[in-house]
Amino acid sequence: MDDLDVTSMMEDLRKRLKPYDDPRKRISNMPENGMGKDDILNHLSQYAESENQPWKLGKVSGAVYHGGDDLLEFLEKVYHIYSQSNPLHPDIWPSLTKMENEIVAMSSGIMNGNEAVRGSVTSGGTESILLAMKTYRDYYRSAKGISNPEIILPTSAHAAFLKACDYFCMKSVFVDLDDSFRVDVEKVKNAITPNTVAIVGSAPSFPYGVMDPIKELSEIAADQNIGMHVDACLGGFIIPWAEKLGYHTGRFDFSLPGVTSISMDTHKYGFGPKGTSVLLYRNSDLFQQQIYANGTWQGGIYFTPTMAGSRPGYPIVAAWAVMMLMGRKGYEESARKILETGKFIKNGIHNIPGIRILGDPLWVIAMASENAGAYRIMDMMGKKGWMLSGLANPPAFHIALTMRQTYPGVKEKFLEDLKASVDEAAKGGKTEAGMAPVYGMASALPEEQVRFFLKNIVEWLYSQ
Ligand SMILES: Cc1ncc(COP(=O)(O)O)c(C=O)c1O
């Protein structure tokens, strides 16, 4: 990639990621006198009006999983009641602890857990995964004296597991996928060493939306007396109903004796506002390792179940309120709509020459193309307003279907635009817009250089 390419790529990124970057309108100092409320609200509305358009039109992969007007109005009322609450103070807000426990109980129920299951609500999938990995590190240090812990990860496992290894000084041991984009069970067996503390399986995986063979993985974990974490951050509120709705997932939950922890995100298909995920453990021995407790601090007795100190109570209450509002029937119905949309889109893609689906997914559908080039197609889709997620190794992209794509006409429009994009991309040309060139570049450079480049992009993003 030459200098010119980098310059034009950065220019395009600037337009997309920093569209308000007008030095005359930049706020670099706090105003001497506060602004009027109406002015502030107008300011926000102007941002939101254009930014909410793509997801409202159903053109965004994942990100907003429900977003229905009725639900949002309801959540605003919940916010009004609980805006000031903080579960760090269970004496001031005991109802928060009660609701958190009820979220854990309801989640455990749909994951076939029994009364021994323990857990907590975290700030999101990443925190659930970080905590679960820290728990296995500490548990097996104490149970087996392992001081150089290793985690076995399918190459499709979420980046949060690598972040956990980075943060908590654990070794990540990658295992390849088979032709169906599920982790290869035999290779997992071969990757186990005396330092292995846990195996990870996704239900389903972020990139390809396919279920790892959780049953087989859990049998290995049980046999080796190590942990088995099921990452159901994406699937936790869809897969429990999938088999009943006629889709095959295989078993994935606490009904498998080797499964020792599960993460499932209330802020994705649980339809809560951003800021919550549920982390469940099979028993209290594991959960104990997650808890931080300090009885000697000059600031007093201090304990937290998760990473944060103060936490916003509102997202927890909102997650509880949405679960109570939806009930099992409500989630089953939304899963039905999303899975049916997935089926329709998969059938449609099968009829578009020049593009293929990776693996056999349900509702998170990854696509690749040898002739037209996945990133070029993603680029063309971007020009038609679609905001899809790029994937690497192999070059591909996916759409994670949400309730927004179940609205009339959206799935048909997706297929129409996809067909046109494949045709346009097949004519050649380089990728020009949005994240597509960044993916193209990342696939062409050595890992170290990509990391260096990305860190600089992040620094640029977080500088005025
Ligand atoms: C399978 C899976 N695990 C973990 C995560 C991380 O979740 P979060 O972005 O809430 O931290 C995601 C996010 O998409 C995911 O799909």
pLDDT tens sequence across 60-118: 999 999 999 999 999 999 999 999 999 999 999 999 999 999 999 999 999 999 999 99
pLDDT score at 230: 99
Q: What is the mean pLDDT of residues 208-236?
A: 98
What is the model's pLDDT at position 270? 98
The single-letter code of the amino acid at 175 is: V
pLDDT band at 299 (very low <50, low <70, confident <90, very high): very high
Q: Are 220 and 189 in contact (CB under 8 A)?
A: yes
The string of pLDDT tens digits covering residues 145-193 is: 999 999 999 999 999 999 999 999 999 999 999 999 999 999 999 999 9
The neighbour count for residue 338, using CB atoms within 10 Å, is 24
Cα(364)–Cα(387) distance, integer angstroms: 14
Helix or strand holding residue 198 (H, E): strand 196-202
Q: Which of 139-153, 324-338, 430-444 has the least mean pLDDT?
A: 430-444
Beta-carbon count within 10 A of 205 CB = 27
- One-letter amino acid of 456: N
Specify whether the CB–CB gap between 123 and 308 falls below 8 A.
Answer: yes
| Spatial separation of the C-alpha atoms in residues 283 and 402, rounded to whole Å | 33
For the cut 60, the answer to whether the pLDDT of residue 57 exceeds it is yes
User: What's residue 15's pLDDT?
Assistant: 87
The pLDDT of residue 185: 98
Q: How far is the CA of 158 from the centre of ligand 1 (A)?
A: 7
Answer yes or no: is the C-beta of 339 below 6 A from any ligand 1 atom: no
Q: 2 pLDDT band (50/70/90 cuts)?
A: low
Distance CA 154, CA 173 (A): 8
Q: What would the mean pLDDT of 134-149 be, rounded to a whole number?
A: 98
Q: Does ligand 1 come within 6 angstroms of the Cβ of 229?
A: no
Please work out whether the CB of residue 212 comes within 6 Å of at least one atom of ligand 1.
no
Q: Tell me: the pLDDT tens digits for 254-288?
A: 999 999 999 999 999 999 999 999 999 999 999 99
Longest CA–CA separation in the chain, Å: 68
Average pLDDT over residues 447-453: 90
Q: Quick one: pLDDT at residue 259?
A: 99
Q: What percent of the chain has pLDDT over 70?
A: 98
Q: How far apart are CA 204 and CA 361, in angstroms?
A: 8
Residue 124 reports pLDDT greater than 70? yes
CB distance 265 to ligand 1 below 6 Å: yes
Share of residues in the chain with pLDDT > 90 (%): 90
Q: Is 204 in the pocket of ligand 1 (CB under 6 A)?
A: no
CA distances from residue 285 to 130, 135, 138, 157 in whole angstroms, order as listed: 18, 10, 11, 25
- Tell me if 231 CB under 6 Å of ligand 1: yes
Tell me: pLDDT of 131 over 60.
yes
Which atom of ligand 1 is nearest to 128's Cα?
11
Domains recognised in the chain with CATH numbers: 80-323 (3.40.640.10)
Mean pLDDT of 208-216: 98
Centroid of ligand 1 to alpha carbon of 21 (angstroms)? 29
Q: List alpha helices for 270-372, DSSP H.
A: 284-290, 313-350
0.95 surpassed by pTM:
yes
Helix (H), strand (E) at residue 141: helix 125-144
Reference 57, options 401, 404, 412; nearest CA is: 404
Say yes or no: CB of residue 236 within 6 Å of ligand 1: no
SS3 state at 29? coil
Decide which of 409 and 446 is more confident: 409
Instruction: Say what the pLDDT of residue 4 is.
Output: 52
CA angle, corner 111, sides to 244 and 55, nearest 5? 75
pLDDT at position 24: 84
Closest-CA residue, ligand 1 atom 8, reads: 125
